[in-house]
Amino acid sequence: MQSVPEYACELSIGSQSARNNAFLAPMAGITDRPFRQIAERFGAGLVVSEMIASAALITGHGDMVRKLGKTGKLPHVVQLAGCEPEWMALGAKIAHEAGADIIDINFGCPSKRVTSGYAGSALMRVPDIAMTLVDAVVGATPLPVTVKMRLGWDDDNLNAPEMARRAVDAGAQMITVHGRTRQQFYKGIARWEPIRAVVEAVTVPIVVNGDITDLASAREALTQSGAAAVMLGRGAQGRPWVVGQIGAQLRSETPIEAPEGDALVDLIREHYEQMLLEYGVQVGGRAASKHLDWYLEAAELVLDKPVRNALLNTEDPKLALAMIGEIFSGEWKAAA
């Protein structure tokens, strides 16, 4: 069996350097600033913004402008989506002015709402249009440009190697590949081995994405793909610390321990409160509920339906914070 590549210990994107080789994936409605802050604090190598629609950004859409917010000390990676070169170029300029250090272009989102407009993974079907976007963004700012894609549109069109080669020729300096096609959405099992063809097609770092949840799966993904780094998406839901843990372990370093007991309560409370600050109390409380649900799942806590509904649906922050303390400290589990 092939070993993890030696270069999986150092990775640079243009003038920017990753802290380690485990990255947090961009996830719309999930990897907002509060989530990224926690992942960064626990040692993630890079964190990426939520997907930002370039067309909405250039019109000043408030939610898209909010998504530009810088997280911390890591290079600020902003992901843009769109299908018009002019909009993507303007979006890249706005992101640069807002403090972005790296611009990532979305060729991977499988959502019908995105692909119906020939954005996201629909761009895998129209390589010539896709490359006009890379050209436009590369030409719009001096920032490093990266691309996130899938294996292809479907199993009859596994064109990631060719798309990656053309993107790199146009100036892209890193490529992330999710080991599924668009038609798979998130079903089935991610295939890491076909990503090796992408690695062999280009000279820039390749990042493997899909179904990576722990050190074992990260090492296997690197071994099968030959990639330089791993990227976690759904595997970090309810466990924002796991990205940094994997990054440290890949470098044979001691990771920051996963929070338990009072430390877990404090982290979840902080996350909840930061969501309220980010969005306002009403919207933030609703946005936080999915994270609370993922924290419950990660902690393997099964609540009675009325209790679970009370935690996830309350509009009273004081009640939510009190319940978080009781439930995640272990007191609730002991009482059951």
- As annotated, the active-site residues are 109
Note whether 244 and 257 are within 8 A (CB): no
246-275 b/e (C-beta count within 10 Å ≥ 16 → b): bbbbbbeeebeeebeeeebbebbbebbbbb
Q: d(Cα 310, Cα 91) in Å, to the nearest integer?
A: 40
Cα–Cα distance between 238 and 293 in angstroms, integer?
Answer: 8
Beta strands in 6-135 (DSSP E): 12-13, 16-17, 22-24, 46-53, 77-81, 102-107
Cβ contact 78:100 at 8 Å: yes
Phi/psi for 99 (5° steps) reads: 110, 10
Give the span between the Cα atoms of 155 and 315, in whole angstroms. 45
